């Protein structure tokens, strides 16, 4: 029978080994994870269960697998039975082999339960703000949103983003400008989607009246605009590393 809380006499001991951070390209070359898509230094997937209770049972199995691996994803359970899972290695601020191992285990659990997979359904949104003085502007947005500074990707890089401590709201990042741009919007939306979904998203945006402002950086991102010139970027991991 299970022990009562506080009566565990031999707690599991984990080795604190920091994994190597992998670029998105290297992660893709090393790991075949058809259920998962790379978005913003993480891997994500949607799983669909027959009912809410079936989905909750799957979430419990995922939690047990995460505890066994000592590596814990963000899990979101939605009615009527959809489960979104995001995996990243926070200690290296990016992807590692450890993420692939857990993703593969979760896929095994989903297959065993007969869950459907929607790998192209994942979308991450960020708000980008053009700034002349990043250190002056960033604290304001952190304060009004209740956000925290996001660690830079590499040592020596500026702190150029704030994020939700609960990892629910979209991140806000700040784009350093050389001179003011009063003739254009200072805020735009970045929408990161799976690389095999982006072409359909671009086509849908154009069919809805949008225009391509620039595709010079594709497949990293396309700059699109609505009929009144408000801009959004559709982004993928490709052509970034």
Is 201 inside a domain boundary? yes
Segment 92-107 mean pLDDT: 97
- 211 and 133 assigned to the same domain: yes
Tens digit of pLDDT for each residue in 175-188? 998 887 776 678 99
- Domain membership of residue 128 as a residue range: 124-235
Is 32 inside a domain boundary? yes
Tens digit of pLDDT for each residue in 187-209? 999 999 999 999 999 999 999 99
CATH number at residue 38: 3.30.1360.20
- 184 and 221 assigned to the same domain: yes
- 133 and 113 assigned to the same domain: no
Mark which of 105, 121, 137 sits at the end of a domain: 121
Beta carbons of 170 and 188 less than 8 angstroms apart: no
Is 16 inside a domain boundary? no
Burial environment of residue 190 by CB neighbours within 10 A (0 to 12, 13 to 18, 19 or more): buried
Is 12 inside a domain boundary? no
3-state secondary structure of 205: helix
10 CB neighbour count, 10 Å cutoff: 5
Number of domains in the chain: 2
Tens digit of pLDDT for each residue in 143-158? 999 999 998 888 889 9
- 47 and 91 assigned to the same domain: yes
Mark which of 72, 88, 121 sits at the end of a domain: 121
Segment 39-58 mean pLDDT: 97
**Average pLDDT along the chain:** 91
- 113 and 29 assigned to the same domain: yes
User: What is the predicted pLDDT for the residue at 180?
Assistant: 79
Segment 9-25 mean pLDDT: 70
User: What is the predicted pLDDT for the residue at 221?
Assistant: 97
- 130 and 115 assigned to the same domain: no
3-state secondary structure of 61: helix
Beta carbons of 58 and 109 less than 8 angstroms apart: yes
Is 2 inside a domain boundary? no
């Amino acid at each position: 029978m299970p022990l009562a809380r506080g009566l565990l006499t031999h707690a599991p001991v984990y080795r604190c080994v920091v994994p190597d951070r992998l670029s998105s390209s290297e992660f893709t070359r090393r790991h075949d994870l058809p259920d998962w898509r790379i978005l913003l230094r993480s891997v994500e997937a949607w799983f669909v269960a027959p009912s809410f209770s079936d989905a909750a049972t799957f979430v419990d199995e995922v939690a047990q697998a995460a505890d066994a691996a000592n590596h814990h994803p963000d899990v979101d359970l939605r009615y009527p039975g959809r489960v979104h899972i995001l995996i990243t290695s926070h200690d290296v601020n990016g992807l590692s082999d450890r993420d692939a191992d857990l993703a593969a285990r979760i896929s095994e659990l989903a297959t065993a339960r007969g869950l459907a997979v929607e790998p192209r359904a994942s979308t991450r949104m960020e708000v980008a703000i053009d700034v002349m003085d990043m250190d002056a502007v960033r604290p304001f947005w952190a304060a009004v949103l209740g956000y925290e500074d996001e660690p830079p990707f590499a040592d020596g890089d500026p702190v150029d983003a704030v994020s939700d401590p609960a990892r629910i709201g979209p991140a806000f990042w700040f784009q350093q400008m050389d001179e003011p741009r009063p003739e254009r919007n200072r805020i735009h939306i970045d929408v990161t989607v799976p690389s095999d979904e982006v072409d359909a998203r671009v086509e849908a945006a154009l069919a809805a009246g949008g225009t391509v402002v620039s595709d010079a950086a594709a497949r990293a991102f396309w700059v699109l605009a609505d009929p009144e010139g408000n801009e959004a970027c559709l982004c993928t991991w490709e052509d970034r590393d």
